[in-house]
Structure 1
Amino acid sequence: MYLRTTIYACIFLFGPQAISQTCCSGGVPLSNNLGLPIEERGIWQFGLNYDYNNLNTLNAGNTKLDDDSRQRITNSVLLSISYSITDRFALEALFSWVNQTRTIRQFGNVNFTETSGIGDAILLVKYAFPEALGSKSGINLGLGAKAPLGKSDLTNENGILLTADLQPGSGAWDSLGWLSLSKAFDFRPSATFSGNFIYRLTGINNSYLNNTSSYEFGDVFQANVGYTDQFLLFNTVFNPGLIFKYRKASVDKINNSNLPNTGGEWVFIRPELSVHIISNILVTLRMELPIYSYVDGTQLTPTTRFIAGVYFKLNNKNNTINL
């Protein structure tokens, strides 16, 4: 009973610095790296991304507080694999490894916590509707699930179970819906306007805190809308883009009760650049910066985010690699 009471006390004492950081604006960025394009039948696609997310901004509602004593950093490595069964039907899987750190500096003391491990994974079934919005357009739909492959019962050096925000996995199955839209216009054939929308319906971890509680991260809606172009320089193809991202997360629940200091809304701007280094390798660089946030209660929110990735395609028809 004493251990259980201590754990609950820690959850509510450190809620603004801990749990809220994952469910709302930190944690493993699975949805953020989902959605490879659907290619011709027999095409394999592989992607390897590194995602760095630094949260060092403390907000109350939409007000930034003058407090830099808390910091959260998430380093993630994500492997994407996609196979086109037909020209319209494809499967995609996303696997993750995550390292998370949390630093709290108060009254001359430093509290540092770090965890690492395999994270959860996603399997997505996708179908394409080419020319659905007229010429040079497309709509892709997808349905999938997040499988709880990552551990959700790690403990600290004293054997105390870590709270949900620092676990590599969520301990629950989630459902996902994915929609991708794209359209090019005759006035600028090399340019594309696109939208990417994801809704994640979270499941419940019924074995939280050594099977004494249930925990449910808030459902999440995410929209990415932007513009990309293409130009040739030094015989190399460059694709610059500018994306606006909106993210809304519902509050977390513990034992079916709302957890304070979780949930909120965010708007980010994301300049990005893709470069065809050689014919069979595509390198992508993205920088994500917050321009608006409104959080429930007091929470850490993102300060800066950087994503770097490399992609290539394998044509299974003739065993050639192409891009």
Structure 2
Amino acid sequence: MYFKISLYTFLFILSQQVYSQTCCSGGVPLSNNLGLTNNGKGGFQLGVNYDYNNLNTLNAGSSRLNDNSRQRITNSILLNTNYSFSDRLSVEGLFTWVNQTRTISQFGNENFTETSGIGDAVILVKYTIQDVLGANSLFNFGAGTKVPLGKSDLNSAQGIQLTSDLQPGSGAWDVLGWLSFAKSGILRPSGTISASVTYRFTGVNSSYLNNTSTYEFGDVAQASLGYTDQFLWFNTIVNPGLVFKYRKSLNDKIEDSEIPNTGGNWLFVRPEISVQITSSFSVVTKVELPLYSYVEGTQLTPTFRLTTGVLLKINKKNTNPINIK
């Protein structure tokens, strides 16, 4: 009985304060950075990216509130690797380091919380089929898991365990499904249209709050549609693109009870550009901006996101890869 009373008290406090946090649109961008191409048998790719996610917009449903006293910032270092066992089968790994800060400024006082550490990782096995939807097309599908490498039991300076959204890791194994499609020769011979869908079935952290409770982030579905092209600029190949992304997150749960002020729907636009310094080395930059968001209750929601980094490709054989860029 005492535990139930304590749990409901915690849920009530969380429902009043979670708007100053975020459980659905912050954290490490795992699903957002998957999908390296199959570069042909023996091909290896290595990507290193810096991701900056700023959340300084307070929403109630789809309405933006005139309140900038709360800010969440996530800085992530992302390491992507991809190895192709054949022209069809490949495996991708995503490894992360994350720094998260939360600042609440009210009545002349500032409350600042910061955490850093190794984040969770993703292993994804992918299969590629050529020309299944017409000439110059590729269809990819894959399945994988999120491995809970990051700590999920860090404490504040006062010795109180931090809420799940501020932990470097989730403390749970997740299952991921992934589909993508690309077709070249759209509008221009060098133009490519692409689409992808990712679904993450989240697992349960059974050791939440010092093994006194369980926590489960809401399942996440994500879909994107984009167009890229290729131009020669000062003897350098440049690939600009524009991507629209939809993201839906279900409510988080504690002890199988849905938590208020979690979950929602987001629509983003992402202009991006890739500059091929050499045939095997590229610099990539993406800027993600929200077009629409509807959150459950009141939550901080993304203001903007910047991702920039480099991609190195190493091919073992002197044949053109089957992938469409």
TM-score of the superposition, structure 1-length normalised? 0.94
Counterpart code for 1:77? I
Which residue in 1 is equivalent to 2:48? 48
Which residue in 1 is equivalent to 2:17? 14
Q: Is the 8 A contact 2:89 2:127 kept in 1?
A: yes
- Distance in 2 (alpha carbons) for counterparts of 1:92 and 1:139: 16
Counterpart code for 1:177? G
Q: Is the 8 A contact 2:239 2:273 kept in 1?
A: yes
Which residue in 2 is equivalent to 1:132? 132
Counterpart code for 1:37? T
SS in structure 2 at match of 1:15: helix
The answer to which structure has the higher strand fraction is 1
SS in structure 1 at match of 2:59: strand
- Distance in 2 (alpha carbons) for counterparts of 1:133 and 1:193: 13
Q: Is the 8 A contact 2:54 2:302 kept in 1?
A: yes
- Distance in 2 (alpha carbons) for counterparts of 1:310 and 1:228: 18
Counterpart code for 2:294? Y
- Distance in 2 (alpha carbons) for counterparts of 1:309 and 1:178: 23
SS in structure 2 at match of 1:299: strand
Identity %: 62
Q: Is the 8 A contact 1:11 1:163 kept in 2?
A: no
Unaligned runs of at least 5 residues, structure 2? 319-324
Please tell me whether residue 72 in structure 1 is matched to residue 75 in structure 2. no
Which residue in 2 is equivalent to 1:254? 254
**C-alpha displacement at 1:316, in angstroms?**
3.9
SS in structure 1 at match of 2:165: helix
- Distance in 2 (alpha carbons) for counterparts of 1:77 and 1:178: 22
Counterpart code for 2:252? D
- Distance in 1 (alpha carbons) for counterparts of 2:57 and 2:186: 43
Query: Relative to structure 1, is the Cα distance of residues 147 and 186 closer, same or farther in structure 2, using a 3 angstrom cutoff?
Result: closer
Please tell me whether residue 25 in structure 1 is matched to residue 25 in structure 2. yes
Number of aligned positions between the proteins: 315
Which residue in 1 is equivalent to 2:315? 315
Matches within 5 A, 1:236-275: 236-275=236-275
After superposition, give the CA deviation of every residue in 1:110-129 in whole Å (9 maximum; x if it has no partner): 00000000000000000001
SS in structure 1 at match of 2:32: helix
Counterpart code for 1:39? N
**C-alpha displacement at 1:187, in angstroms?**
4.8
Which residue in 1 is equivalent to 2:150? 150
**C-alpha displacement at 1:107, in angstroms?**
1.0
Q: Is the 8 A contact 1:170 1:205 kept in 2?
A: yes
SS in structure 2 at match of 1:291: strand
**C-alpha displacement at 1:278, in angstroms?**
2.6
**C-alpha displacement at 1:314, in angstroms?**
1.7
RMSD over aligned Cα atoms: 1.7
